[in-house]
Chains A and B, each alone.
Chain A
């Protein structure tokens, strides 16, 4: 159906967006009330409080204006605690990539060993089962206390949360390589190392890539929370700082950026995943 009308889906997306923004606009429309307090008092409080209400959610217009400010000037630096959103996102991305990269370096070889040897798998299984479900943020106080460096602690938290999906997926992928292929390799007297690299790795690659894709998604989720806790730099700190100022328009802008970057990270790993897929 959509095959002969390819514009239908994007059109529907736009309709959804318009309906959402419209509802948002209606929901946040501030009725211009009478100022019910004397002018001297009114000057000291926010506009909404002066009319007897609470300051409201910003409308779509306010958010777009803020968004425009961030897009046009993303890399300003007005001191240690006030940097542009581009710089903050850069810090977060760097942390995620370092933590994720380190986790991949550990998880993929370890997953290989676990997948190839049922004995190691059984021995390590209880540890993995216990450590896997721990919220990465629960590690934060321990990390801060032992590592004594907030930046490395944040990276450690990313490391620990990206480790498990990659480890488990690698092990699963390696363990479920088709017996026939391994048998063929054995009949041809291929060495174990060559079997690992030329038979198992390509066979397990799609599963490993799926694990990486899950990991990077989790890492991006966690970095925001970790940076809100630790502060200093990063998009999480930016959200926290604007929360401090109850600046909802800024927070919504940051949320949009977080979503955008998350999508880019996910898409790039999905693309890598497609590159290693094979047809049986």
Chain B
């Protein structure tokens, strides 16, 4: 594979039949030697710990060794203390998986693509995991099941791990978000009868649905409405409706529109119930949507399982990122066991060549994209919106909450391990509807809005 090695890396040898350090016959031998070396180091660490425990005073230890000799001492201690077993036990905490049978909850929407597709396409199995992906009825239920440890990890909306950690809408429980599932991938859909009301200023009195209070959908819809001078709490009503029930409600004329995750929007078009007014990427290009999340307890008590699981997800995300794989993925996740949608609906979402409900075929390959990196500035923006709309109040340590919940460091390391290129800076600048966001000035950002609560 020398053709693909970086010729400008001093650690890499371009000739065949060598390894990166040059001391071994092949890269495989090099890796083997490295592994042995790692094991030897571990063994030493264990022996050192035992000797320190036996001889709290180092001078006594040295006198003892001088008197009886190192080998004799080792044999004597080994006869009293199971040295080999201790070494093995220590090695095990770094290597094998603590748990291989896992249960991961998901909501049947395309945002869950990496979590779902990792099952039929074998990414979980690749990392030695036997994962059961369980379809769940709504966000509150997935939260409660995750909190109750019925799920080891779960698909959540990216504001949810933040809300759970700071105790908004539930008891504060340290939660983490090691990866973003997808970016973009939402849209505002309106009922067919509003075909001519494309200006948000005409939307007074509309009844909107969003999937959950703590969702990007809610914040983006509120942001969009407020930027057009519509107060989201006074001029319209916004209620939380689980995604699968949105199209049925739109059809029954219970709501005028929704900002929903896909494939709900496309499904409304497919059934002739609504049209796509705007993709969420037009509000904020590259915004995070859903998240892969787990409790901090899972991350710390089962580090190997957590890493294997995250690697499987990252690997799947990397595959989903490539446009040429999207059709295959659509076919893999559309059946009843996963999304339970017509393949064409899922395919239109993933490929970005879609019917808009008004008779046009639109081509936008970035309609949904997959970038797992949990930028801390995303978290800070979400927190500012929580505060803007009165979901949280008082002092918020934005930067700390962001770095506690969004595990950018782990993502960086593991992305490298699965061959992806993580960004160097966990803070990314972006603007929403043309208005730049400065993550270092969250309070000033909130104050800059005319329409806000509190």
Contacts and interface: CB of A to CB of B under 8 A. Distances in A.
B354 A44 contact: yes
Given A44-B361, A45-B355, A231-B136, A145 B144 contact: yes
A80 interface: yes
Given A148-B148, A244-B108, A82 B272 contact: no
Contacts of B342: 46
Contact of B150 (A40, A48, A150, A246): A150
Given A244-B340, A246-B248, A49 B354 contact: no
Nearest to B269: A45
Interface in B131-147: 132-138, 140-141, 144-145, 147
A139 interface: no
Given A246-B247, A246-B267, A241 B135 contact: yes
Contact of B270 (A45, A52, A80, A229): A45
A134 to B, nearest CB: 20
Interface stretch (B67-75, B158-166, B331-339, B412-420): B331-339
Contacts of A145: 144
A80 B244 CA distance: 19
Contacts of A82: 335-337
A44 B348 contact: yes
Interface residues of A, number: 38
Interface in B233-272: 244-245, 247-248, 251, 267, 269-272
A245 interface: yes
A277 to B, nearest CB: 43
Interface string A226-249: 001111100001001111111000
Contacts of B272: 45-46, 48-49, 52-55
Nearest to B335: A82
**Residue from the set B341, B357, B361 with the largest chain A CB neighbour count within 10 Å:** B361
Nearest to B142: A231
A37 B275 CA distance: 15
B269 A229 contact: no
A245 B341 contact: yes
B336 to A, nearest CB: 4
A138 interface: no
A149 interface: yes
A78 interface: yes
**Residue from the set B140, B336, B342, B359 with the largest chain A CB neighbour count within 10 Å:** B336
B273 interface: yes
A268 interface: no
Contacts of A49: 269-272, 357
B338 A81 contact: yes
Interface in B206-250: 244-245, 247-248
A228 B245 CA distance: 12
B141 A231 contact: yes
A79 B145 CA distance: 20
Given A44-B361, A82-B336, A243 B271 contact: no
A221 interface: no
A249 B185 CA distance: 29
Contact of A46 (B134, B138, B270, B360): B270
A215 B361 CA distance: 55
B344 interface: yes
B355 A41 contact: yes
Contact of A80 (B133, B149, B247): B133
Nearest to A81: B135
A72 B137 CA distance: 28
A241 B273 CA distance: 20
A144 interface: yes
B137 A80 contact: no
A82 B108 CA distance: 13
Interface in A71-92: 78-82
A95 to B, nearest CB: 16
B269 A240 contact: no
Contacts of A12: none
A232 B269 CA distance: 28
B353 to A, nearest CB: 8
A43 interface: yes
The 3 tightest CB contacts between A and B, nearest first, are A49-B272, A148-B148, A244-B244
Interface of B: 108, 132-138, 140-141, 144-145, 147-150, 244-245, 247-248, 251, 267, 269-273, 335-338, 340-342, 344, 348, 353-355, 357, 359-361
